[in-house]
Amino acid sequence: MWYDRLSEYLLKKWYRNDPICPCIYVKILKNEFAIIIIYVDETNIMRTLIEFTKTIDWLKKKFEMKDL
């Protein structure tokens, strides 16, 4: 259920889901990008600085998260 909710939310935020590996979400905008990788209950984010700040902010607003 958690994955379905997160997936739906990411797709609404213009992320594309990788068809081969459904745990990877990618968003590319001109000079900015973010890649979110989900594994069980862990979320790893690779990104450019500006997109990172936006991504973390809206994820924390929607989901209970710890930033390690």
Q: How far is CA 2 from each of CA 7, 29, 48, 49, rounded to the nearest angstrom?
A: 8, 27, 26, 27
**For residue 68, is it within any domain?**
no
**For residue 55, is it within any domain?**
yes
**For residue 31, is it within any domain?**
yes
Count the domains in the chain: 1
Expressed as residue numbers, the domain containing 32 is 2-62
pLDDT at 54: 73
Distance CA 64, CA 55 (A): 14
| pTM (2 d.p.) | 0.74
Mind listing the pLDDT tens digit for each residue in 12-63? 888 899 889 889 999 888 888 888 888 887 787 887 776 667 777 777 787 7
**For residue 67, is it within any domain?**
no
